[in-house]
Amino acid sequence: MKILDGKSTAETIKKLIKTEVENLIKEGKKIPHLGIILVGNDGASHTYVNNKIKDCEEVGFKYTFIKLEATVTQEQLINEINSLNYNNDIDGFIVQLPLPKHINEQKIIETIDPSKDVDGFHPVNVGRMVIGLPSYVSATPAGIIELLKFYKIKLQGKHVVVIGRSNIVGRPLSILLSQKGEYGDATVTLCHSKTKDIANLTRQADIVVAAIGSPEFVTADMIKEGAIVVDVGTTRVKSENSKSGYKLVGDVKFDEVAPKCEYITPVPGGVGPMTRVSLLINTLKAAKKLVY
């Protein structure tokens, strides 16, 4: 069993990005500039945004952070988004999700200029990705593909079972895996809450991606010997063994599944860091005008 170490892989990629930024500065070219809008006081969202700011500082990106109260109106938020849409110095930006219930998330996503949508959530980017045009791919699926590339795990002809059909992870990942190319050409089965006998399908899989948001859903009896398992889940559960009283648990029961695997991602330290570094990659692409 080998660990797919997302943390060390992301650090390697960040060093490459930092070097590229340094070269851009030497050549007198524009420094990549990421905008971040955070609404409200959700603890997890604050942590994510702080990590993204730290990443920008590490690689030498500029960033603009806009913090809005949870009581902000949808119209006010749209005005902030439009200010970034028309700000020529900002290459790409994100609106951290989730948003307060009185705000329509889909409306907000569609307000973002697709050419600055470095989260890859806008329908235009999703559509371009589906038909194989240059696009910003949402960070978690893109990060998973980058991690598999880093470890030179070929996908051609492999049977991949993806558990979870969210618009952010499961659906886009299933499309990326099935597209033509060295890190595509897989046969993909997409499972969800209405799928019958998921375990029967996962036991047939060469690669299982668990993105269902259910702690330790995938158990050893669901995985065949020598499979590759990618765990996207991150759920905080109570723990008497940690100072905070909580620990992060994935969708895979790691201790019993890992011995059966050829490769497996840990939680934390697997997919999470790759998601963050993918946002940096998208922002660099935006600054260099590689997509639009």
52, 62, 116, 285: the active-site residue: 52
CA distances from 263 to 153, 170, 214, 245, 253 (A): 10, 20, 21, 30, 14
Which of 91, 119, 206, 251 is catalytic? The answer is 119
119 is known as an active-site residue? yes
Beta bridge partners of 259: none
Is 52 annotated as catalytic?
Answer: yes
Q: Is 251 a catalytic residue?
A: no
Closest by CA position to 280, among listed 42, 116, 9, 52 = 52
The active-site residue out of 5, 62, 91, 96 is 96
Strands 227-231 and 207-210: parallel
DSSP 20: H
Q: Which residues of 279-288 are buried (b: 16+ CB within 10 A; e: fewer)?
A: bbbbbbbbbe
In what helix (H) or strand (E) does residue 257 lie, and over which residues does it extend? Answer: helix 254-257
Active site residues: 52, 96, 119
